[in-house]
Amino acid sequence: MKTQAKPTGKYASFYQRSLTQPETFWTGEAKAIDWMKPFQHVRDFSRPPFCKWFVGGQTNLCHNALDRHLTKRGQQDALIFVSAETSQTVRYTYRELHAEVNRFAAILKAQGVGKGDRVLIYMPMVPEAVFAMLATVRIGAIHSVVFGGFAAASLAARIDDAKPKVMVTADAGLRMGRIIALKPLADEAIDLSKFKPEKVVMIHRGLDFTGKHVPGRDVAYAAARLQHIDAEVPCEPLESSHPSYILYTSGTTGKPKGVQRDTGGYAVALAASMKHIFDCKPGEVYFSTSDIGWVVGHSYIVYGPLINGSTTVMFEGVPIKPDPGVWWRIVAEHKVTTMFSSPTAIRVLKKQDPAWLRKYDVSSLRLLFLAGEPLDEPTSDWIEKGLGVKIIDNYWQTETGWPILSTFQGVEKMPTKLGAAGVPAYGYKLKLLHEETGQEVGPGEKGVLTIVPPLPPGAMSTIWGDDHRFVETYFKSFKTEMVYSTFDWATKDEKGYHTVLGRSDDVINVAGHRLGTREIEEAIQMHNNIAEVAVVGVADQLKGQVPMAFAVVKNADRVATNEGREQEEKSVMATVDKELGAIARPARVHFVTLLPKTRSGKLLRRSIQALCEGRDPGDLTTIEDPSALEQIKAALGR
């Protein structure tokens, strides 16, 4: 067995203590939140791989996010809502947010929602979505936030799985000035679903009037809010392992997987991460550019910053509208200290005039965290130099709820390594295992990134309603031992810094050589005219697979003619030859003006691959701009 590289320095002892003395370690971290009833045991791992944390303890996420701050921080801003779509900014102090959440909790209780019931939230990025989430956990119910814009059939599948007593929705969302009607989709989803929510709480933004009102089922939020304007709803004491929410992620079978999160472990994990990972202090301003429909929005727009006593910024819009300086203006105006975004978003900004990075005073910003997909060195270097701010990569999943890899600035000012997501987070015992033998690989060797159970506090406790699927999906990849598979390839260096190469099914086999598509993408981005690129493995009779690249250029004039495209393609291939070697050279480099992405900014690599191989591109309900797929087809001559 290979010796696992370990973090060094002050963080090393911190990390090792989390693995060798977990009871002592997590007892200390649990002091960061309020407990309504003390826990008797730190963990119960008597039924592997299932683990219960802080057994016997009772707490409440909403209490820890709001109520406990009222005495000291009642007049501090808790939530700042900034909409670039409506040119609106609304501030809520902790006391004001507490009042709105109490009103929403009273509305839910009036619809018969109680402890253990589900509330499905299908909302745009507006404050009422945060009210609904906090109100749900306040009364001991379980929310399931579904990204606003999912098609009716996808929403119906989630309704049937979660079986919500109440749905919360709005008339519409906005995206680059376009109205995205939600109520008609919600109605259609309910028509399609076998399970019917008893009530639908409807928020009218005055944007779209095509949605029908269903008498006896639909509840107008504005009127109900007035009825409960002075409501005071106590927080429900919840056993630590009580589910807080269900968040669906894609599954290989087509049926969405409902990631189930607990209450106590999640609260402790988020409180610890705000301190140790994000180095964000109570009273400071935290800005995550994500959406509440995704895990980052749950953990680091809503719960994490509020549990920490920070101010959280909620943004409706895109990073280039009304101009590419919109995020940096927010940082300047609200004195943001910590920011969390994605590599994709930064690559979008990379195509804009870099002067926007210097237009506003961003001196309050200490750290910019990037996650969601592998961060390439050119993008990281570009934004770090442009802003003059330290960039912190980190890697995690919907399933884990908080980072698996990072550098832990709140413990010590650890050095970062360009291209590497970081070292293992406290509480995570990681192994890189050979895909076939299950043996641990050494420094510099590729392996599947796995976690030795138990999963730490805050990670998923199971798949909603399906313990068997939880075990079969995540813990049966290797016959040698029961480990959680992230399904991601990674390498590590001698100091324990891990570089994530992409999904294990995104590693392509070219004539017996395994190549990570991320590695090829990073090599292509070394070319001076490439702003963004997607590489997929395409079936080839001779080599098994060959890499195919689709690139967005900075200077379109250079690819405006057939001759220009041919020359630029050769130039890009020469760059790959130089960076990785001829074995990694793409079979073709196609030039497009945009790449197909989801509305959350993730590249639809599997859909691109399917089009290259003449297959059905699959479910495209979350695609940002369908014309991107048409460009792929055109580039392929289809």
pLDDT at 540: 82
In the sheet with 118-123, reading across from the earlier edge strand, the strands are 218-220, 199-203, 166-170, 118-123, 142-147, 245-249, 257-261, 462-463
Burial grade of 64 (CB within 10 A; 0-12, 13-18, 19 or more): buried
Question: Does the structure show a pLDDT above 70 at 219?
Answer: yes
Percent pLDDT > 70 in the chain is: 96
Cβ–Cβ < 8 Å for 220, 110: no
Provide the CA 611 distance to its chain's centre, in angstroms: 26
Mean local confidence (pLDDT), 552-576: 95
Look at 508 and 491; give whichever has higher pLDDT.
491
Burial grade of 582 (CB within 10 A; 0-12, 13-18, 19 or more): exposed
Provide the Cα torsion 269, 270, 272, 273; round to 10°: 110
Joined together, the tokens standing for residue 141 give 């119910």
Q: Report d(CA 27, CA 42) in Å as an integer.
A: 7
Q: Is the dihedral of CA 304, 306, 309, 313 positive or negative?
A: positive
Joined together, the tokens standing for residue 70 give 């009222």
DSSP code of 475?
S
Tens of pLDDT, residues 525-549: 999 999 999 999 998 876 778 899 9
Cβ–Cβ < 8 Å for 547, 584: yes
Mean local confidence (pLDDT), 434-463: 96
What single string gives the DSSP state of each residue in 120-134?
A: EEEE-SSHHHHHHHH
What proportions of the chain, in percent to the nearest 5, are helix, strand and coil?
35, 25, 40
Cβ–Cβ < 8 Å for 367, 339: yes
pLDDT at 509: 66
Average pLDDT over all residues of the chain? 93
For 630, residues 6+ apart whose C-beta sits below 8 A from its C-beta are none
Closest CA to 169 of 151, 191, 184, 153: 184
Largest CA distance in the chain: 73
Cβ–Cβ < 8 Å for 465, 258: yes
Q: Is the dihedral of CA 314, 319, 322, 326 positive or negative?
A: positive
Judged by average pLDDT, the poorest of 62-76, 99-113, 207-221, 262-276 is: 207-221
Joined together, the tokens standing for residue 41 give 């045991």
Question: Does the structure show a pLDDT above 80 at 202?
Answer: yes
Q: Report d(CA 574, CA 584) in Å as an integer.
A: 11
Question: Does the structure show a pLDDT above 80 at 109?
Answer: yes
Mean local confidence (pLDDT), 294-311: 97
Burial grade of 409 (CB within 10 A; 0-12, 13-18, 19 or more): buried
Strands 367-370 and 336-341: parallel
Confidence of residue 511 (pLDDT cuts 50, 70, 90): low
Q: Report d(CA 140, CA 130) in Å as an integer.
A: 16
Tens of pLDDT, residues 313-365: 999 999 999 999 999 999 999 999 999 999 888 988 998 999 999 999 999 99
Q: Report d(CA 626, CA 629) in Å as an integer.
A: 6
Q: Report d(CA 510, CA 192) in Å as an integer.
A: 44
Burial grade of 386 (CB within 10 A; 0-12, 13-18, 19 or more): middle
Q: Report d(CA 38, CA 240) in Å as an integer.
A: 10
Containing 158, the helix (H) or strand (E) segment is: helix 152-162
Question: Does the structure show a pLDDT above 90 at 235?
Answer: yes
Confidence of residue 206 (pLDDT cuts 50, 70, 90): very high
Question: Does the structure show a pLDDT above 50 at 3?
Answer: no
Backbone phi, then psi, for 315, in 5-degree steps? -115, 130
Confidence of residue 6 (pLDDT cuts 50, 70, 90): low
Three-class DSSP category at 592:
strand
Joined together, the tokens standing for residue 158 give 């989630």
Tens of pLDDT, residues 134-144: 999 999 999 99
For 278, residues 6+ apart whose C-beta sits below 8 A from its C-beta are 286, 300, 304, 338, 340, 367, 369, 409, 410
User: Residues, the chain, total?
Assistant: 638
Joined together, the tokens standing for residue 524 give 């292509």
Question: Does the structure show a pLDDT above 90 at 80?
Answer: yes
Q: Report d(CA 231, CA 456) in Å as an integer.
A: 37
What single string gives the DSSP state of each residue in 440-474?
A: BP-TT--EEEEEESSPPTTS--EETT-HHHHHHHH
Cβ–Cβ < 8 Å for 58, 239: yes
For 206, residues 6+ apart whose C-beta sits below 8 A from its C-beta are 171
Percent pLDDT > 90 in the chain is: 80
Mean local confidence (pLDDT), 207-227: 94
Cβ–Cβ < 8 Å for 319, 289: yes
Mean local confidence (pLDDT), 80-86: 97
Backbone phi, then psi, for 458, in 5-degree steps? 90, -20
pLDDT at 512: 55
Preceding peptide of 374 cis, ω within 30°? no
Mean local confidence (pLDDT), 170-190: 93
Closest CA to 379 of 522, 517, 518: 522
The domains found in the chain, sorted by start residue, are 511-635 (3.30.300.30)
> Angle at CA 589, nearest 5°, toward 585 and 594?
135
145 has which bridge partners? 121
261 has which bridge partners? 245
Q: Report d(CA 300, CA 313) in Å as an integer.
A: 10
Preceding peptide of 49 cis, ω within 30°? yes
Closest CA to 126 of 61, 191, 79: 79
